[in-house]
Amino acid sequence: MDETADGPTPDPTRAPEAAGEMEAGDGQEEGPRAEAIAQPAKLLRIAGMIRELLEETRTASIDERGRVRLRQIYERSLQELTDVLSPDLQRELSALAGPLEGVPTESEIRVAQAQLVGWLEGLFHGIQAALWAQQMAARQQFEELRRRGLPSGQPPQPPVTGPPGQYL
Distances (CA, A) of 57 to 61, 67, 73, 92: 7, 9, 13, 25
- The answer as to whether 46 is a domain residue is yes
> Roughly what angle, to the nearest 10 degrees, separates helices 64-84 and 40-59?
160
pLDDT, averaged across the chain: 75
Its pTM stands at 0.59
The CA-based dihedral angle spanning residues 79, 82, 87, 89, taken in that order and rounded to the nearest 10 degrees: -130
- The answer as to whether 52 is a domain residue is yes
Q: How many domains does the chain have?
A: 1
- The answer as to whether 58 is a domain residue is yes
The predicted model gives 91-113 an average pLDDT of: 88
pLDDT category at 126 given cuts 50, 70, 90 is confident
Q: pLDDT tens digits for 25-42? A: 343 333 445 567 778 788
Please give the residue that has the higher pLDDT: either 145 or 9.
145
pLDDT of amino acid 123: 87
User: Which phi-psi region, left, alpha or beta, contains residue 106 (left: φ > 0; alpha: ψ -120 to 50)?
Assistant: alpha
- The answer as to whether 56 is a domain residue is yes
Distance in angstroms (rounded) separating the CA atoms of residues 152 and 21: 34
Domain ranges, residue 39: 33-121
- The answer as to whether 116 is a domain residue is yes
pLDDT category at 104 given cuts 50, 70, 90 is very high
- The answer as to whether 146 is a domain residue is no
Distance in angstroms (rounded) separating the CA atoms of residues 18 and 1: 11
